[in-house]
Structure 1
């Protein structure tokens, strides 16, 4: 049954100095009336957004966050929906994480009124972390390594069915290497064929790149720290050539960094910018030529593609997403969702 939660908007922001003619960004909280942690987020427009999280919770707004509808798949209260990809106000694909059969994908075509289970993992050693789409038909869902190789499922019909990508196309995983299901952004795409997979946990924090739609991958080291609790948590590319990786150590969120790395060659090489956010950040999104980063310790903005950063909010968020038109949303703990003003 769909439940609509009527809420009023609460404006909370922390102002920072801006250059002449510029206005610093600020988050406008859109209370959801629930306490789930939302690590999954998909921004469709300034009016439409979907969030997903703990306790099988999926919410959707079509009026800019003034009201939210609880539209999650029935009977999934024990699942954690860590990633969601929405194509519009009616069509979305949501991923739950966990070992074995807890890793699942559901799809809706009617705004969450009905869902269909389209993938359920059967390998106890697999653990799916995140998914991303090249377009409304082709997408990838990524698991931690199994038998020394990352495992990926591919869809060619908008998430209605999934097929495994052969493991022979992946470089060997490092001992302890895995993805982080912290923000639904451990895999991303840009253009019709390029995809990137963020990792941590091994001897180095790496980014894997595919230039053929996910069939073959190569790995590159980044300067971000790596440990069982550290690595690259999110990766985002403005174009197939230029992208950012962000992360840190969630067990030591105040560690000085570096938390950001830049690539100008499709992820083959990565470099630390001269300035970067202080501490751990889990979410990342491009807004035109600017970049937003979020984490439990606050939000940062870079107006110049990740080279310089300014903090602008101290509230906790886990993930952030922006539309091509520049509508940006963020979500996190205790049902927190905000829209950028």
Structure 2
């Protein structure tokens, strides 16, 4: 059932009892992906079209709202771990495989996944690529964990058909143990034509680095999300414009608490404030709701949370397991995660 923007927000923000009585409760509707792999990569194009990418080199695509899925995995990729995918439409997409050395690769398709071209293969044993983002259909970035003490950035100006390593002199020094988390495809995000942000953990402080020139220079800011351990930090970012951003994360270990799992910024990431009422546990994905200045969803293995006040407070909507979430201008919100789970927000 389709939703106008006002009804979409109302269905999410209504009190649960009231919403169920009225038959208007928004909820995740699981779609049978036909797969059992974990999908940490997700790119929603519309309410009808979405791509997911995951373990065993798997890429699936739907063009009918999740009623059916086509396996469009690149041939010979079964040993690769896809963790991020960025789709421009139903035919064109770029997917990132993670890992040390040559395990990190980028592929592009222009025909809906019928054929793929490998456009980048990492040859530096010290690099480990985590995430992709695109400013538009031509310009994009990919990030690697630190190499020789600094995060490494790849750049493309032809839609991911070719890539080059950017100079590192504009990148601040990394902290000891600092890295990105390839958990949801959201450790590197962008807004507008030139602004990008990357999220970190593992070091003494969980940081967000911001570039205003498509990755040439970066400035780092500390966040209140706990770090100081390889399992803790900022796992995902979402910016609804150049100024207003959300960060979520925590400690991904199931037996460890994540008491400060979210933060927000009003100034493009220069300063971050803790959520007054954060999600109750580790969250690995976050997305602003379409056409909203104040509402967003955060997801993780133990549930989905909603904020309606720009990230200051969060409340749990669902207890299903998801790793990542993405929303589209036509009011399509999708989530994906373990055991082939893919869902669309419906009522």
Q: Same fold (TM over 0.5)?
A: yes
Q: Deviation per CA, 1:280-299, whole angstroms, max 9, x where unpaired?
A: 00000011231010000100
Q: For residues 121 and 210 of structure 1, what CA distance do their matches in structure 2 show?
A: 23
d(CA) in 2 for partners of 1:131, 1:274: 30
Give the structure 1 partner of residue 60 of structure 2: 59
**Bigger fraction of residues in helix:** 2
Are 1:233 and 2:238 an aligned pair?
no
Matched residue, 2:184: 183
Q: In the alignment, is the contact (CA less than 8 A) between 1:244 and 1:260 conserved in 2?
A: yes
Q: What are the superposed Cα offsets for residues 169-190 of structure 1, whole Å, 9 maximum, x if unpaired?
A: 1000000000000000000000
Q: 1:165 to 1:301 in 2, by over 3 A?
A: same
TM-score by length of 1: 0.93
Flag structure 2 segments of 5+ consecutive residues without an equivalent.
1-11
Aligned position for 2:125? 124
- Alpha-carbon distance between aligned partners in 1 of 2:154 and 2:255, rounded to the nearest angstrom: 32
Partner of 2:332: 327
Give the Cα separation in 1 of the matches to 2:88 and 2:96. Answer: 15
Alpha-carbon offset, residue 326 of structure 1:
2.3
Runs of 4+ displaced beyond 6 Å: 19-22
TM normalised by structure 2 equals 0.92
> For each residue in 1:43-62, what CA deviation from the matched residue of structure 2 results, as whole angstroms up to 9, or x when unmatched?
00000000000001000000
Paired residues of 2:82 and 2:97 also in contact (CA < 8 A): yes
Is the Cα–Cα contact under 8 Å of residues 16 and 311 in structure 1 kept in the other structure? no
In 1, the alpha carbon distance for the partners of 2:178 and 2:233 equals 9
Aligned to 1:155: 156
CA offset digits 1:157-180 (Å, max 9, x no partner):
000000111010100000000000
Deviation at residue 25 of structure 1 after TM alignment: 3.0
User: How many residues end up aligned between the 2 structures?
Assistant: 328
Q: How far apart are 1:325 and its partner, in Å?
A: 2.7
- The answer for the alignment partner of 2:138 in structure 1 is 137
Q: Which residue in 1 is equivalent to 2:262?
A: 260
- In the alignment, the residues of structure 2 paired with residue 258 and residue 18 of structure 1 have an alpha-carbon distance, to the nearest angstrom, of 25
CA distance in 1, matches of 2:43, 2:137: 13
Q: Supply the distance in 1 between the matched residues of 2:332 and 2:136 (Cα, whole angstroms).
A: 19
Unaligned runs of at least 5 residues, structure 1: 1-13
Tell me which residue corresponds to 2:4: none
Partner in structure 2 of residue 278 of structure 1: 280
SS at match of 1:334: helix
Residue equivalent to 2:253: 251
